[in-house]
Chain A
Amino acid sequence: MIPELGHFALGLALALSLAMAGFGLVGAHRAEARLMGLAPPLAMGALLAVGMAFLCLVASFMVNDTTVSAVVANSHSLKPMLYKISGTWGNHEGSMLLWVLILALCAGAVAGFGRNLPSALQSRVLAVLGLIAAGFLAFILGTSDPFGRVWPPPMDGNGLNPILQDPGLAFHPPLLYLGYVGFAVTFAFAVAALIEGRVDAAWGRWVRPWALAAWSFLTLGIALGSWWAYYELGWGGYWFWDPVENASLLPWLAGCALLHSAIVVEKREALKTWTVFLALLAFALSLLGTFLVRSGVLNSVHAFASDPSRGVFILALLMLYVGGGFALFAWRAQAMAPTGVFAPVSREGALVLNNLLLCSVAAVVLVGTLYPMFADLVLGQKISVGPPFFNTATLPLAVPLVGAMAVGPFMPWKRARLWPALQKLWWVALMALAAALLCLALEGVRVGPALGFFAAAWLIFGAAADVAQRVGLFARPKAALGRALALPRAAWGGALAHGGLGVTILGLAGMGLAVDRLALLKPGESVELAGYEYRLEGVADAAGSNFAARRATVRVTRQGREVVTLHPEKRSFPLARMTTSEAAIHTTWLEDLYVVLGEEREGGVVLRIHDNPLAPWIWLGAGIMALGGGLSLSDRRTRVAAPAAKAAAKAAGTVRA
């Protein structure tokens, strides 16, 4: 009964979404308030229906209803409850349903919070979101119905891929989807603007919170995925330039460019065509990622449910939305005349530079990701594009990007001079140089890490200098605290996000100094790495709820002093016939001690031991970036976009965002 209810709710949601699209577009075109007024309640109705369907699927997983095919394929009665629930979206059908649920939530938010939007714009945005939702609902109902029944029901499910039974991964897809789908809203705003043929400062102000929210969630999602890869896959790596990882990085880069260029639209009414293009691009890249992962056209470690017939459907949707968006862009973007011209050396000039560099990085990653596929298709050659290409190709773009990131916030709008901005940064440069020299002194001639430490210090202290300058820490130290409290949250958010990237780069630079060794140890033997002594005490059997494990006990000491006892494990899941290795990690915040249990032979075990300096800061930095985004989002000005707030900010002497 519950699955049928879910299935019905999906059909209902499809009908409501189509109605929302129709009424919204026609109403806005004819300027009929009654038709336009239908769009928000329809969005709420669609949200209720999709939410209902999703809850039905969660309920089926929770009670382990083995008559439902998705449950049989992906769940098992012995699985812990958390993973039964996360199993709902740990498979293709459920994850598509989650995707649509988040889209419906976004549409609901536009309907609920968008009362101060002009009603034509609001109904067009809702109509576009309705079209997107309808397409994906049709995809779910047509090719990947999560509520399909199995008869006769098997005794129990086939279990979930054990690698995916992990708290980090339970929340990785929802966060990524919040990001991807958030860009659907900016896409809808861009399409609405193209239909209206008008982009103004207000449009920039409405788009920016969505771009910020999507970007923040995507930052968290990517960081969580990378962290998961680090502790679960047991390779000691955190980013592999795998096509699927790149697919999530691409919309992040485009979104990052978008949220910066939207500032220029808001403040200076320039870069309109470009901003609309970025809004279209960010969603296009999100959809591209969905297509690449789901269709099976690429070779990746993230082998997901791949099925060419689904691939054709997603490709059709991709072409419909992306092609439609870009066609509208080619046809209508001409109409958007810029009102202001601007000098290359200015805040907006710096933001243009930021956009150019971010988009170049995105282009490099896109080419590196797609080239092997197209080379295979067109030339019949098997090529693998790996980390060496991405590292060497993105580094020359990342250096000026990071360089400009600290300088940009010091440039005033309209017209600036570079030299005064640089003068304010002399002590930042000194600190950065000191960080690089310290690295060289401690670790010898290692160019990469030294450059990394320079960049990290440059960004972190640059962000600090930005805040210090805004609150007048050096000019009027006594009034600084009061001014700090009065500083708009967007200013804090921006500085925090920039500093957060610095923290991430700090972690990356530290990981550049990581060392590891492989050792065959018998119980009682020990091995030394980076000043720590790792002693194998023994290996024993251990049991979990749905797996059996071999568990090693490794005592770590430093100069005879006890540090920690680590328990790396190898788990075997009898149902899935898989073994996973659980790395044991101890972090001192300055470094991670990371031990992986290998195979047992000749009475001993193989241990792989890593010493990863500053590793946790990679993900901590991403968290800070997302926090910055959230703080900026909570700023009154981005929330209500009221003109009065702008005037108040001007009065406080802080017009700079």
Chain B
Amino acid sequence: MSEATPNPWRRRALLGLPLLAAGGAGLGFWAMLRGLGTGSYDPHGVPSALLGKAPPDFTLPPLAGSDLPTLAAADLRGALARPVLVNFFASWCVPCVIEHPQLMALKRQGVPVFGIAYKDKAADALGFLARRGNPYTRLAADEPGRVAIDWGVYGVPESYLIDRQGIIRWRWAGPITEDTVAADLGPLLRRYSA
């Protein structure tokens, strides 16, 4: 199209443009493929409608047999000492086992992790925590899974980060891995702790 461009260098640059564009697109695609592997890029992921909002209203019974207090919407409203992580889990869920060490590490760092046992029998959930350790400071039972529906949970494990003002800042569907902590959760905790 630019057959009559006078400056040969400009023409040369113009001819190199497609290569540059293809290279840039290639790099981007490569990053996407890498992200698909690590989970940081997910084209099918649906953002939570609750991001930037307060959690839905709910009250839940405590997990029978545990001596921990239960969790209700009131516990997540405003003026919290630190940001908290609400974690839906179940003893029958294999990825929850993968995620468990990271939750224990968070507990050691002093991050309050609140657990909601999703569609699980109290005895099974207690057995799970007894075998592997209990990362939770509050523990509620959602055996019918109603509250999970209100939160928009689409599978366990699933975690929500709530800042000190009681606003949901982050949702993670799937197990929290070391990479997730390093890349996403860690920075967010630092930001919202201030």
Contact = CB atoms under 8 A, between A and B. Distances in A.
A373 B43 contact: yes
A297 B25 contact: no
A327 B26 CA distance: 14
Given A299-B44, A334-B8, A322 B28 contact: no
Interface string A261-278: 000000000111110010
A308 B36 contact: yes
25 contacts: A273-B2, A274-B3, A277-B18, A281-B18, A295-B33, A297-B32, A297-B36, A299-B43, A308-B36, A312-B30, A312-B33, A315-B26, A315-B29, A318-B26, A318-B29, A322-B22, A322-B26, A323-B22, A326-B22, A329-B18, A330-B18, A355-B1, A370-B25, A373-B32, A382-B46
A644 interface: no
B183 to A, nearest CB: 11
Contacts of B46: 382
Contacts of A273: 1-3, 15
B16 A297 contact: no
Contact of B15 (A271, A333, A356): A333
A442 interface: no
A273 B1 CA distance: 7
A341 interface: yes
Nearest to B30: A315
Contacts of A338: 3-4
B22 A319 contact: yes
A130 interface: no
Contacts of B47: 382
Given A274-B1, A329-B15, A329-B19, A315 B33 contact: yes
Interface in B6-52: 8, 11-12, 15-16, 18-19, 22-23, 25-26, 28-33, 35-37, 41, 43-47
A374 interface: yes
Given A271-B1, A373-B28, A377-B35, 18 more contacts: A271-B3, A272-B3, A273-B2, A280-B18, A284-B22, A295-B33, A295-B36, A296-B43, A297-B33, A297-B36, A297-B41, A308-B36, A315-B33, A319-B23, A330-B15, A334-B8, A341-B4, A355-B1
Nearest to A272: B3
Interface of A: 270-274, 277, 280-281, 284, 288, 291, 295-299, 308, 311-312, 315, 318-319, 322-323, 326-327, 329-330, 333-334, 338, 341, 352, 355-356, 370, 373-374, 376-378, 382
Nearest to B31: A377
B127 to A, nearest CB: 33
Interface string B58-96: 000000000000000000000000000000000000000
Contacts of B41: 297, 376-377
Contacts of B45: 382
Interface of B is mostly: helix
A330 B45 CA distance: 39
B33 A330 contact: no
Nearest to B21: A326
Contacts of B2: 273
Contacts of A272: 3
A297 B19 contact: no
A610 to B, nearest CB: 29
A634 B2 CA distance: 33
Given A273-B15, A315-B29, A323-B26, A308 B3 contact: no
A376 B23 CA distance: 19
B169 to A, nearest CB: 13
A288 B41 CA distance: 19
A327 to B, nearest CB: 5
Nearest to B8: A334
Nearest to B1: A274
B170 to A, nearest CB: 11
Contacts of B33: 295, 297, 308, 311-312, 315
A250 to B, nearest CB: 13
A378 B29 CA distance: 11
A352 B4 CA distance: 14
Contacts of B43: 296-299, 373, 376
B22 to A, nearest CB: 5
Contacts of A296: 36, 43
Contacts of B36: 295-297, 308, 311
Interface string B151-164: 00000000000000
Nearest to A270: B3
Contacts of B3: 270-274, 338, 341
A327 B22 CA distance: 10
B41 to A, nearest CB: 6
Nearest 3 A/B pairs, CB to CB = A299-B43, A326-B19, A330-B16
Nearest to B37: A308
B126 to A, nearest CB: 35
Nearest to B13: A330
Contacts of A341: 3-4
